[in-house]
C-alpha cells in the first residue's frame, strides 16, 4: 500500500492547503452525518506527506471551522448552479480541495486555480476531467479570466485565501473582477479584527476569549491547547526553542517535549495562558493573522460601487451542534458566531 502513495512536499503558503484537506477527511470519517467528502478521505489515504502525520491529532475546533467553511460554500454554490446549471465555478486558491466532487451537477465546468507548484502536485493526485480544469496562475494575475468559459455564468469560491493578502490587494482584486467578469459572484470567509485580537489576547481563525465570560474562556483555552498541539508537534526543535524563548510568562516549560509543555500549561492561570498563547501566536503572526479583516460585507461597497452584497452570515449558521461533539467545540461555534468573528460573504460584482 505504501508504495502507491503520492509524495507531496509543499513549502511556504502552499503548506496551508494540507490542513483543510485533512480536516475534511477527518470530519468525514468521524462525523459523517455532519459532512461527507469521500474524495478527501481517498486523497488522504493516497498521500504521503509529513503534514498528514502532523495533523493526526484529536479533532478540534479548527477542523470544524474549516469544514463549516466548506459546508457553507457548498450550499451557496449549489444554490447558484441550480439557477445556472452550465455555469463555470472557479475555485481560487484551491489547494487540494475536492469541491467539484461534492458539488458536481453533471453540467457545470469547474476550474481549480492555484500557484504552479500546487497545481503540479494537485494534477498528480486529482487528474483533470472533461469538466474540471486546472489553472496554474495567481488569482491576482488578470489573465486567468480569459482561461474560463463565461457565457453561462461565473461563480467563484475563495476559501482560506484572501486572509493572506492586504486590503489594498483584495480591493484591487474585486475591481479586477468587476472589470473582467461583470455579473459574476463569489463566496469567501471574512475574519473580523476581533478574530485576531481579543481582550489583549491574540487568537487566530476565531480563537479568542473574554475574561468576562470565564466558562467560555476556559473551554476555548482547552480547545486552543488542543489546536496548538498541532503546531507544536510539527515544528522543528530550534523553532520550539525560539518559541519558548519568546515567552513572557513567569515560568516556562522544562523542555520542548509535549508532555513537559502540558504540565507547564496546566499550572498557569487563565490570564497567563492567554499571555502564553498570545506570545506564541505573535511569533507566528504572518501565518495566523488575517491581513484583511472585515467586519461587515457592506464595507466592501465603499471600495468599488460595482460591488453588491448578496448575503452575509456567521460561519457556523445552521451547522448542527451535534451532541457527540465536545462541549467546548459547541461553545466555540456559538461564541464565534455570537461575536461575529468569522462570516461568510456572498458578493456580486
Ligand atoms: C489555506 S489554503 C486553502 C486551500 C483550499 N481553498 C481549501 O480550502 O482547502 C490556501 C491556498 O491558497 C493558495 N494561494 C496562495 N497564494 C495564492 C495566489 N496568489 N494565487 C492562487 N492561490 C494562492 C495556496 O497555495 C493554498 O493552496
pLDDT at position 283, please?
A: 59
| Pairing state between β 88-92 and 154-158 | parallel
Residues of the chain with pLDDT under 70: 1-4, 50-60, 194-211, 281-289
**Pocket of ligand 1, candidates 66, 93, 177: which has the most ligand atoms within 8 Å of its Cβ, to mutate?**
93
Q: How far is the CA of 333 from the centre of ligand 1 (A)?
A: 24
Cell of 305: 460601487
Residue 335, ligand 1, Cβ within 6 A: no
Residue nearest to atom 8 of ligand 1 (CA): 159
Q: Rounded to an integer, what distance in angstroms lies between the CA atom of residue 321 and that of residue 325?
A: 7
| N- to C-terminal Cα separation, the chain | 48
Q: How far is the CA of 166 from the centre of ligand 1 (A)?
A: 15
DSSP string, 23-34: HHHHHHHH-TTT
Identify which of 141, 143, 151 has the alpha carbon closest to the alpha carbon of residue 88. 151
Give the position, in ligand 1's atom list, of the atom nearest the Cα of 159.
6
Residue 115, ligand 1, Cβ within 6 A: yes
Identify which of 64, 311, 99 has the alpha carbon closest to the alpha carbon of residue 190. 311
Helices and strands: H and E segment counts in the chain: 14, 11
**Tens-digit pLDDT profile for residues 108-119:** 999 999 999 999
Q: Can you list the domains of the chain with their CATH numbers?
A: 62-192+305-348 (3.40.50.150), 198-288 (no CATH)
Q: Rounded to an integer, what distance in angstroms lies between the CA atom of residue 269 and that of residue 258?
A: 19
Helix (H, G, I), strand (E, B) or coil at 301: helix
Residue 93, ligand 1, Cβ within 6 A: yes
Residue 11 has, within 13 A of its CA and on its CB side, a CA count of 1
Mark residue 76 as left, alpha or beta (left: phi above 0; alpha: psi -120 to 50; beta: remaining): alpha
Contact present, 44 and 60 (Cβ < 8 Å)? no
Distant-in-sequence, close-in-space partners of 166: CB < 8 Å, separation ≥ 6: 291, 292
Identify which of 90, 106, 41 has the alpha carbon closest to the alpha carbon of residue 67. 41
Please provide the size of the chain in residues: 349
Identify which of 77, 306, 330 has the alpha carbon closest to the alpha carbon of residue 180. 306
pLDDT at position 202, please?
A: 43
Q: How far is the CA of 42 from the centre of ligand 1 (A)?
A: 21
Amino acid at each position: 500500500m505504501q508504495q502507491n502513495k503520492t509524495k507531496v512536499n509543499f513549502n511556504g503558503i502552499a503548506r496551508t492547503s494540507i490542513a483543510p484537506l485533512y480536516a475534511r477527511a477527518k470530519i468525514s470519517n468521524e462525523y459523517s452525518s455532519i459532512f461527507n467528502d469521500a474524495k478527501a478521505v481517498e486523497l488522504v489515504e493516497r498521500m504521503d506527506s509529513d503534514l498528514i502525520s502532523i495533523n493526526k491529532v484529536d479533532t478540534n475546533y479548527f477542523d470544524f471551522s474549516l469544514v463549516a467553511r466548506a459546508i457553507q460554500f457548498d450550499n451557496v454554490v449549489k444554490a447558484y448552479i441550480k439557477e445556472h446549471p452550465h455555469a463555470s465555478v472557479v475555485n481560487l486558491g484551491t489547494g487540494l480541495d475536492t469541491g467539484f466532487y461534492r458539488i458536481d451537477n453533471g453540467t457545470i465546468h469547474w476550474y481549480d486555480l492555484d500557484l504552479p507548484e500546487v497545481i503540479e502536485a494537485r494534477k498528480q493526485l486529482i487528474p483533470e476531467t472533461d469538466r474540471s480544469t486546472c489553472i496554474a496562475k495567481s488569482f491576482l494575475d488578470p489573465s486567468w479570466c480569459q482561461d474560463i468559459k463565461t457565457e453561462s455564468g461565473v461563480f467563484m469560491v475563495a476559501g482560506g485565501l484572501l486572509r493572506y493578502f492586504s486590503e489594498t490587494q483584495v480591493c484591487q482584486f474585486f475591481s479586477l473582477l468587476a472589470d473582467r467578469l461583470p455579473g459574476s459572484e463569489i463566496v469567501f470567509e471574512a475574519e473580523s479584527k476581533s478574530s485576531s485580537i481579543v481582550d489583549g489576547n491574540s487568537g487566530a481563525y476565531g480563537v479568542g476569549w473574554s475574561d468576562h465570560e470565564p466558562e467560555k474562556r476556559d473551554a476555548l483555552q482547552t480547545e486552543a491547547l488542543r489546536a496548538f498541539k498541532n503546531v507544536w508537534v510539527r515544528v522543528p526543535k530550534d523553532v520550539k526553542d525560539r518559541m519558548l524563548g519568546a515567552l513572557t510568562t513567569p515560568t516556562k516549560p522544562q523542555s520542548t517535549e509535549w508532555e513537559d509543555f502540558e504540565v507547564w500549561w496546566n499550572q498557569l492561570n487563565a490570564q497567563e495562558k492567554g499571555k502564553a498563547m498570545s506570545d506564541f501566536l505573535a511569533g507566528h503572526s504572518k501565518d495566523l493573522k488575517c491581513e484583511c479583516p472585515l467586519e461587515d460585507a457592506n464595507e466592501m461597497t465603499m471600495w468599488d460601487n460595482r460591488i453588491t452584497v448578496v448575503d452575509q452570515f456567521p460561519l457556523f449558521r445552521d451547522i448542527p451542534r451535534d451532541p457527540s461533539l465536545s462541549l467546548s467545540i459547541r461553545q466555540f461555534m456559538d461564541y464565534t458566531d455570537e461575536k461575529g468573528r468569522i462570516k461568510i460573504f456572498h458578493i456580486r460584482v
